[in-house]
């Protein structure tokens, strides 16, 4: 037998004589991406080593050597002294190789009763769980910023829109509370995703489990999981936990994008409803008068990047048979990027909400434009004159047409002319035709009346405390 046949690949064992070629190494290595999970990989290995020792699968002496070596590696990584190698493919083999350098033979016993398949699934769940906790904290801060601003603007009038056309007056505080509700549902999705991912794949090994008498419940508990996953095939091949997190992130990003779009509109000269300080605005290289809401525009754009990550992972997973396939190495990069991007977008949007200043007079002026109290007139005809709503709708349309032709606001139409168009009208109707009266009357649950806004703010403050 030749010397070549007597050698073996350090990673793959005796089945392979030679190492990978340069192209294979380039496409196969994931360490540039998954080194980010170094802390989780070490945490999982510590729990696994302790479980192996408790089950008498490795000795206490080996356990002590392994744990000491892993702590040394953790310190090296924290100091930036650890040298990651693409030749060792991934974070698991990089750490295991360094462990062997540090403690010798006992390092080889750490991989007993596990595979890189269950190891990476465990690391990924641990990383994602921490990332979701971070996003939840950011969403809470976003809600609190919105609540603070909504309380300041509880009585500030503004136009409410449908089709981006003035529809009915609302309060700015009410408008901001809509995003508090959206963020609350975003947090609910984050919590749901976290709850479903919180099961441990560790000990499922490559795909079929292991013949060693391990205690998967022990390692699961040590890592903060609720329980071990019940099917070894599912444990190593499932990535729906990452898809669910990306779906929650994509929906949240769309919510942020909608508010970002509104800020872009509101800061434009045609609206001038709000102003952002220099901290969240940029200028033009050629037009000195420009104040561009670039932070909001970038938040708006990043929604596409995050939803793209969801589509990427869906396409990776859509045709994979059980159990593990190397395709799944492409799972982490879109997740890491999407959650980083969402974290930045949340921080920027929270900062913009805290920073923006309402131009209350412009908002109030716009709130009464475009006959925005026409519905109040129709409602008055129903409520006070007993007119069926459809008839009241038609009468109001004719009154609006007259006002438009004569360049008058509804409350500026003389009573005699109003009566000519709708004989049942009395002077009492003028009490409902101002934007302030319109807003104050919307006291139904969930309505825009300032008293409602304050009640909802109080409810949310109690809920978030």
Annotated active-site positions, please?
A: 163, 284
What is each CA distance from 97 to 116, 127, 326, 443, in whole angstroms?
14, 22, 21, 68
CA distance 70 to 83: 15
CA distance 204 to 324: 12
- Shortest CA distance to 130 belongs to which of 47, 76, 178, 193? 193
CA distance 65 to 124: 26
31 within 8 A of 94, measured Cβ to Cβ:
yes
251 within 8 A of 186, measured Cβ to Cβ:
yes
Burial annotation 317-332 (CB, 10 A radius, 16+ → b, else e): beeeeebbeeebbebb
Q: What is the CA radius of gyration of the chain?
A: 31
Query: How buried is 61 (Cβ within 10 angstroms: 0-12 exposed, 13-18 middle, 19+ buried)?
Result: exposed
CA distance 310 to 314: 6
Q: How many beta carbons lie within 10 A of that of residue 289, not counting itself?
A: 7
Supply 36's token pair: 């980010």
156 within 8 A of 358, measured Cβ to Cβ:
yes
């Amino acid at each position: 037998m030749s010397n070549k046949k007597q050698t073996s690949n350090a990673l793959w064992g005796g089945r392979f004589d030679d190492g990978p070629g340069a192209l294979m190494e380039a496409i196969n290595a994931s360490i540039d991406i998954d080194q980010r999970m170094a802390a989780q990989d070490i945490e999982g290995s510590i729990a696994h080593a302790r479980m192996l020792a408790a089950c008498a699968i490795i000795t206490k002496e080996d356990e002590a050597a392994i744990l000491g070596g892993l702590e040394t590696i953790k310190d090296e990584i924290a100091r930036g002294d650890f040298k990651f190698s693409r030749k060792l493919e991934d974070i698991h083999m990089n750490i295991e190789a360094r462990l062997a350098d540090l403690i010798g033979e006992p390092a080889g016993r750490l991989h007993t009763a596990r595979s890189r398949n269950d190891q990476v699934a465990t690391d990924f769940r641990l990383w994602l769980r921490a990332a979701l906790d971070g996003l939840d904290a950011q969403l809470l801060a976003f809600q609190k910023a919105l609540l603070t601003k909504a309380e300041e603007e509880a009585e500030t009038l503004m136009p409410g829109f449908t089709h981006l056309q003035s529809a009915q007056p609302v309060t700015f505080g009410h408008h901001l509370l809509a995003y508090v509700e959206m963020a609350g549902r975003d947090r609910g999705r984050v919590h749901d995703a976290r709850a479903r991912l919180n099961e441990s794949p560790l000990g499922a090994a490559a795909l079929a489990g292991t013949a060693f008498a391990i205690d998967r419940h022990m390692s699961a508990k040590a890592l903060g999981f609720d329980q071990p996953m019940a099917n070894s095939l599912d444990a190593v091949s499932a990535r729906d936990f990452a898809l669910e997190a990306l779906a929650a992130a994509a929906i949240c990003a769309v919510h942020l994008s909608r508010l970002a779009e509104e800020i872009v509109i509101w800061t434009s000269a045609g609206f001038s409803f709000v102003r952002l300080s220099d901290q969240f605005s940029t200028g033009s290289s050629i037009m000195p008068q420009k104040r561009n809401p670039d932070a909001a525009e970038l938040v708006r754009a990043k929604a596409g990047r995050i939803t793209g990550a969801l589509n990427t992972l869906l396409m990776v997973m859509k045709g994979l048979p059980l159990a593990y396939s190397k395709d799944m190495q492409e799972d982490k990069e879109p997740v890491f990027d999407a959650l980083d991007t969402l974290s930045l977008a949340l921080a920027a949007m929270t900062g913009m909400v805290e920073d923006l200043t309402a131009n209350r007079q412009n908002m109030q002026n716009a709130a009464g434009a475009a006959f925005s109290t026409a519905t109040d007139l129709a409602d008055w005809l129903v409520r006070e004159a007993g007119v069926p709503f459809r008839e009241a709708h038609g009468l109001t349309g004719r009154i609006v047409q007259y006002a438009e032709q004569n360049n008058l606001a509804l409350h500026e139409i003389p009573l005699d002319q109003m009566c000519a168009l709708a004989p049942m009208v009395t002077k009492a109707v003028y009490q409902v035709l101002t934007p302030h009266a319109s807003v104050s009357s919307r006291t139904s649950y969930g309505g825009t009346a300032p008293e409602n806004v304050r009640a909802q703010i109080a409810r949310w403050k109690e809920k978030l405390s």
